[in-house]
A and B are shown apart, each in its own frame.
Chain A
């Protein structure tokens, strides 16, 4: 056992063990009996032809044999044998890895493979994160931009509704307004807070967003014929509306006025079948529209609404059933 570890082979180790056994005048059978091993296994170890044994058994048997001989021959030590066990273990691992049905040893993966696995994991993490985060960020930022753009337009349209706005400016706003209502802006309409003087939170944006998307998009390309404009639902805006919104009306249009005594659902469609109003109108409000006859009107609570056409009251009672008025206004009401 004085040979260097790198020169040690199973054969030399076996010869060394045999020599030590003979030196102690120990029979092979006695040694096998003491170790509870078959004689042929011990013989194979001494002859160095034991590589067929799995490493766990080989290590155990050789270690036990060395410790048995050590009792009488302390010159033997199992330090050098460790090298052989390691070699045998590595050989077993390689053999195992080479065969499909064999169990590979519990060796850690190669550093290159581990690096590749880590890089792959990080790459997939980055790709998935980018795939989720970037569209979300884009969606939110785009939405915010459009929202601020909408707000700018609404605020810029406010002077148009007043008597100070010129007709040209109003016409420009009117031509732009239907177009800037894109489908993507619609989700933000519900997020908009109620404006002062408009308790229902209704404004032009919310009522326009109720229009069919196809109409809105087509209208962008062809601004004329323009949809009927709605005046601001302000109770004291009669003078303002006459100065702005009404001036934009087409020839032959009539003025429809609703005065709300109580809350009521109102649906009004004009001659072209387009919705002029489609909303729950609140008590105390007054609404004016420039529309073309005939009109289809549905009022959910007839007693809560005073309807006037060109300043003349419309009698709803003949068309009311169960306090729901449904009528078609084809001509101006006759003066009383």
Chain B
């Protein structure tokens, strides 16, 4: 413990948005210094039962997704916003923490704030805490993602006024109503960007008999994916493997098709928002009706997402500035105010 304290003198406090798709690290006083995919490549030279070593982490590992030989396996250590593979999460965190402390002579031992989904269980939170401690953290704080997202988006959560935030991440979507530095209502649905990709893969397989990979599905989502019918129809050519012949095949997709493919996961999200509005106390609901819903997370970048929610809820919907980094930035601000508001924003164990 004294050694960790000593090393902590030379480590920066970190806020980590440990997401299913991407991990972002905010360093106190420096801003966001790392934004890499939450992917780990493992090398198994002596077979599946033999010793394993980390071959690559982050962007490098993501490039290997679906293109690895037999002795390398790529894994996403987080699923639905929580840890699915404890060892790999620890290795990934260790790699990222070292990466942001590259110039230091001593092994870093920072204070770390990790953002967790509001519906995560005690066991899942404990796993995240222990994983961060195992990666070298001196002290670990947890904050619920909607709270961090609201702070990062610049919502005045300290006021006695209701604010609603919807954070659409890679594995989960979190909706929360906040007031007076606290969460009044929160709900989390296990629908996110990964489910959008999955829906696109299923659509292409079902309608074109062609199999595409995760990376291609993500590219389709970013380029022509939309949540609301647009006037101009966008088209995109993709390649996949034909299921009948087993040879590569080219397919032309339109934005209308993708909208149709995404309708199921999107309806799950809109239902969650409607439920949240139903459960919110009327005074706060009136405040939300006046100010609107703030969208954060990577899902907010899906075209027409605000229009869809506006249509379904009849409320103004605003996309936060730089929605991808809202959670990490919010965590960083909470960390900076740690001494002032000790424990006020943080989640229980």
Contact = CB atoms under 8 A, between A and B. Distances in A.
A56 B157 CA distance: 12
A117 to B, nearest CB: 7
For A54, A89, A108, A117, the residue with the greatest tally of chain B CB atoms inside 10 Å of its CB is A54
Nearest to A41: B290
Interface stretch (A2-10, A30-38, A188-196, A202-210): A30-38
A109 B154 contact: no
Nearest to B106: A125
Interface in A105-164: 105-106, 108-109, 114, 117, 121, 124-125, 128
A57 to B, nearest CB: 5
Interface stretch (A59-67, A215-223, A302-310): A59-67
B308 interface: no
A102 B155 CA distance: 11
Interface residues of B, number: 35
A121 B156 contact: no
A60 B318 contact: yes
A101 B344 CA distance: 12
A92 interface: yes
Interface residues of A, number: 31
Contacts of A257: none
B158 A60 contact: no
A37 B316 contact: yes
A59 B321 contact: yes
Interface string B312-323: 001111111100
Contact of B154 (A54, A117, A121): A54
A57 B291 CA distance: 6
Contact of A128 (B9, B30, B317, B337): B9
B332 A106 contact: yes
Contacts of A55: 154
Contacts of B314: 36
Nearest to A107: B31
Interface in B226-247: none
Given A103-B151, A124-B9, A57 B332 contact: no
Given A36-B315, A41-B290, A57-B291, A125 B10 contact: yes
Nearest to B153: A56
A56 B317 CA distance: 11
A13 B6 CA distance: 55
Contacts of A41: 290
A104 interface: yes
B58 interface: no
A234 B260 CA distance: 102
B9 A56 contact: no
A26 to B, nearest CB: 17
A335 B340 CA distance: 94
Contacts of B340: 100
A300 B191 CA distance: 83
A117 B29 contact: yes
23 contacts: A36-B317, A53-B291, A54-B155, A55-B154, A56-B320, A57-B291, A59-B321, A60-B292, A60-B294, A61-B316, A89-B154, A101-B158, A102-B156, A103-B151, A103-B156, A103-B337, A104-B333, A104-B337, A106-B152, A108-B30, A109-B29, A125-B9, A128-B9
